Chains A and B, each alone.
Chain A
């Protein structure tokens, strides 16, 4: 039994890590309807910039600050150079454009900062601790805590600030949002900036977890089913989706994996996501539009 609980807890905590990446997707999708596949490259770029600066001997906070500016600038640049000329194009075209963007980011980041692997030490000790007989990773707990703070901060941003309220409004009705008096394009830039910030957080935590290397871009594949389950437009959905995917993956890998021969977690989350979609075609927290003809 305690083995099951441990597997479950381990999975839930891993799920929070997926949520961190998924939140970046949600922000951009909500505001501009773009499914930003380059999020993974942005995570890599953030982590790589940060460790490169640290290796040059910069102070932790200074490195974080510079990386943050780089990421915000990158987000804004992507919005201006790529997505603005593509406005009103089909979603799938925008999606493909972000795929192209990810090539550019990966290529340029490695030209500038090289392709070697780095260790990223955030100073979080990672010896296991026992809570009620269940072994839990301290690092994972810290990561979950960070995700929690991030979600609270984002919800304050969306609910209390003028910009945040406008952002929520444009998801429903771009015209109405304009009446608040902020230009749509300014809003998009802000969102892309925030997405850059979120990729910094995700990049630091994922980088610390597995080392800073190219494979960071692959976390996107784990974030996708999280999004499908949670709905593309809900931050709460990204968290709940992450927990479901993390727990589902772990438990399936152990129990279903022993039946089917392992590695079921490559598809389990996706099949689970389709099952959710069949019941709720726009995800748990997404809203399906009413059809009018």
Chain B
């Protein structure tokens, strides 16, 4: 290499370093009085799961825009947001969190949405230290429902345990009552990861309670080959399969089930196995497949008409593929945005109509009451279940609707929201939270304030 060339490379390297320094130090927060509410979005637009994320951010951003454009912000406080790419990896998620946690231009971060089960788990303790609530809708640690031990983790709406319990209750609905569960064989085919294993303990407990046989079949990540698992299903002949997949695992499961002749209308997918993105690649054989979800699909909810009128039709939407309007993931984004916005509204009612910081938003979340009436005002009746949170209950809802794929779209087939056995679940959850508190040396908060 010539001398001059070396010099050139060196000078480029120096220039690059200078850029890093300026870029990274440039994010410091100014102390001015902010008039906006900052909402950082951890997204994953590249990598193996991008396809599921993209419609979800669209739903979320569209709702934020709707609040800004139509309602003029939350009580006049406009929302600002920017994105940080996580690739759905823990390390990048932590980097994003650290990058945004101090707020932006004096505008504080009220709530962090980690968008990823492993990321949320890695941030559990950091969020307590920084006093920023993590809202994890339909993922995250189940025992974080106990807000006395996990003050800043909010597995709002539908935890994995509620998911499993509701799925069992749906099966009971189909076979004619909980007493008919006795003697049934229910096989859970799960993604072999902490997420997939989270429901094992609970299902064993429910099996004992209701007398069904609990079969657990792991599928190793990524799940693109499942002939052995479904051969086993064929041998064991379960009555129902509860499918807790993620990513490519779900379509392969549906296809392989069809391959071994297992009826897909006896497979109930979990939250993360129940979107258009999960069934469409499976093609025609997915017809009849069921899935339980807190985010019912559909574009006919009242809020969707408003979103269409004020956002989509005006070309303001973040959605690139209009087909996804009203899809499960789009609606999950809308749901998440509703919860976040309402929590801030609740906090504003208490602390004043100004930007809310993390500590105040935590109060807002713990006093959030999304009643039927309020949901009707928002236009989310049927889309979002009623929700009432407290320090002892960071979940609130705990019910899901069951959808069935007709080859083109999802249709709700359950009788409204299928509730989980929360009275059965909560003592177990509190027990596990207490164990966690003991291990970590945490003194649980007093739940009365």
Whether A and B touch directly in their complex, counting CB atoms under 8 A apart, is answered as yes
Stretch of B78-86, B278-286, B300-308, B377-385 with 4 or more beta carbons under 8 angstroms from chain A: B278-286
On whether the beta carbons of B220 and A7 are closer than 8 Å, the reply is no
Residue of B nearest to A217 (CB): B48
Chain A residues near B228 (CB, 8 Å)? 7, 10-11, 249-251, 253-254, 257, 265
**A215 and B224 contact, Cβ closer than 8 Å, known pairs A116-B54, A118-B281, A126-B285:** yes
On whether the beta carbons of B48 and A214 are closer than 8 Å, the reply is yes
The answer to whether the Cβ of B349 comes within 8 Å of any Cβ in the partner chain is: no
Residue of B nearest to A8 (CB): B231
The answer to whether the Cβ of A69 comes within 8 Å of any Cβ in the partner chain is: no
Task: For chain A, residues 131 to 162, give those with C-beta under 8 angstroms from any C-beta of chain B.
Answer: 135, 137, 139-140
Per the bound structure, the CA–CA distance linking A142 and B229 in Å amounts to 22
On whether the beta carbons of B225 and A115 are closer than 8 Å, the reply is no
**A263 and B261 contact, Cβ closer than 8 Å, known pairs A110-B50, A126-B255:** no
Chain B residues near A135 (CB, 8 Å)? 234, 260-261
**A128 and B259 contact, Cβ closer than 8 Å, known pairs A7-B228, A117-B277:** yes
**A107 and B46 contact, Cβ closer than 8 Å, known pairs A116-B51, A135-B234:** yes
- How distant is B328 from chain A, measured CB to nearest CB, in Å? 13
- How distant is B43 from chain A, measured CB to nearest CB, in Å? 12
On whether the beta carbons of A10 and B231 are closer than 8 Å, the reply is yes
Residue of A nearest to B216 (CB): A262
Total A-B residue contacts, Cβ distance less than 8 Å: 127
Per the bound structure, the CA–CA distance linking A274 and B234 in Å amounts to 32
Residue of B nearest to A103 (CB): B46
Residue of B nearest to A111 (CB): B46
On whether the beta carbons of B224 and A210 are closer than 8 Å, the reply is yes
B209-235 vs A, CB cutoff 8 Å, 1 = contact: the mask equals 000000001111110110111011011
On whether the beta carbons of B50 and A119 are closer than 8 Å, the reply is no
**A210 and B218 contact, Cβ closer than 8 Å, known pairs A10-B228, A215-B247:** no
B182-225 vs A, CB cutoff 8 Å, 1 = contact: the mask equals 00000000001000000000000000000000000111111011
The answer to whether the Cβ of B26 comes within 8 Å of any Cβ in the partner chain is: no
Residue of A nearest to B324 (CB): A116
Per the bound structure, the CA–CA distance linking A72 and B336 in Å amounts to 45
Query: Which of B54, B231, B247 contacts A250 (CB under 8 A)?
Result: B231
On whether the beta carbons of A210 and B248 are closer than 8 Å, the reply is yes
The answer to whether the Cβ of A222 comes within 8 Å of any Cβ in the partner chain is: yes
The answer to whether the Cβ of A172 comes within 8 Å of any Cβ in the partner chain is: no
Majority-rule SS of B interface residues = helix
The answer to whether the Cβ of A219 comes within 8 Å of any Cβ in the partner chain is: yes
Per the bound structure, the CA–CA distance linking A140 and B227 in Å amounts to 11
Query: Which of A106, A116, A218 contacts B224 (CB under 8 A)?
Result: A218
Most buried by A among B48, B234, B247, B259: B259
Task: Give the A interface residue count (CB, 8 A).
Answer: 49
The answer to whether the Cβ of B387 comes within 8 Å of any Cβ in the partner chain is: no
Per the bound structure, the CA–CA distance linking A266 and B321 in Å amounts to 36
B256-297 vs A, CB cutoff 8 Å, 1 = contact: the mask equals 001111000000000000000100111111000000000000
Chain A residues near B47 (CB, 8 Å)? 214
Most buried by B among A13, A117, A266: A117
Residue of B nearest to A137 (CB): B259
Per the bound structure, the CA–CA distance linking A5 and B274 in Å amounts to 33
On whether the beta carbons of B280 and A119 are closer than 8 Å, the reply is yes
Query: Which of A3, A218, A262 contacts B231 (CB under 8 A)?
Result: A3
The answer to whether the Cβ of B419 comes within 8 Å of any Cβ in the partner chain is: no
B231-258 vs A, CB cutoff 8 Å, 1 = contact: the mask equals 1101100000000000110011001001
Per the bound structure, the CA–CA distance linking A206 and B251 in Å amounts to 12
On whether the beta carbons of B51 and A214 are closer than 8 Å, the reply is yes
On whether the beta carbons of B248 and A253 are closer than 8 Å, the reply is no
The answer to whether the Cβ of B178 comes within 8 Å of any Cβ in the partner chain is: no
The answer to whether the Cβ of B432 comes within 8 Å of any Cβ in the partner chain is: no
A234-251 vs B, CB cutoff 8 Å, 1 = contact: the mask equals 000000000000000111
On whether the beta carbons of A262 and B321 are closer than 8 Å, the reply is no
On whether the beta carbons of A10 and B46 are closer than 8 Å, the reply is no
Per the bound structure, the CA–CA distance linking A212 and B281 in Å amounts to 7
**A14 and B282 contact, Cβ closer than 8 Å, known pairs A115-B54, A126-B259, A214-B50:** no
The answer to whether the Cβ of B45 comes within 8 Å of any Cβ in the partner chain is: yes
Query: Which of A11, A115, A126, A218 contacts B51 (CB under 8 A)?
Result: A115
- How distant is A242 from chain B, measured CB to nearest CB, in Å? 12
Residue of A nearest to B231 (CB): A7
On whether the beta carbons of B227 and A14 are closer than 8 Å, the reply is yes
Chain B residues near A217 (CB, 8 Å)? 48
Per the bound structure, the CA–CA distance linking A251 and B231 in Å amounts to 10
Query: Which of B54, B224, B260 contacts A219 (CB under 8 A)?
Result: B224
Chain B residues near A6 (CB, 8 Å)? 231, 234
**A215 and B227 contact, Cβ closer than 8 Å, known pairs A116-B321, A126-B255, A126-B258:** no
Chain A residues near B229 (CB, 8 Å)? 253
On whether the beta carbons of A265 and B220 are closer than 8 Å, the reply is yes
Can you list 15 pairs linking A and B with CB atoms under 8 Å apart?
A3-B234, A14-B225, A115-B46, A119-B280, A126-B285, A128-B261, A135-B261, A210-B248, A213-B51, A213-B281, A214-B51, A215-B224, A218-B222, A218-B248, A249-B225
Seen from chain B, the residues whose Cβ lies within 8 Å of a Cβ on chain A are 45-51, 54, 192, 217-222, 224-225, 227-229, 231-232, 234-235, 247-248, 251-252, 255, 258-261, 277, 280-285, 320-321
- In order of increasing CB-CB distance, the 10 nearest A-B pairs are A211-B281, A215-B248, A262-B218, A10-B227, A253-B228, A263-B220, A115-B50, A250-B228, A263-B192, A266-B220
Known: A115-B54, A209-B255, A214-B50. 14 other contacts (CB 8 A): A6-B234, A10-B228, A116-B54, A117-B281, A126-B259, A135-B261, A210-B224, A211-B283, A215-B248, A250-B227, A253-B229, A254-B232, A262-B192, A263-B219
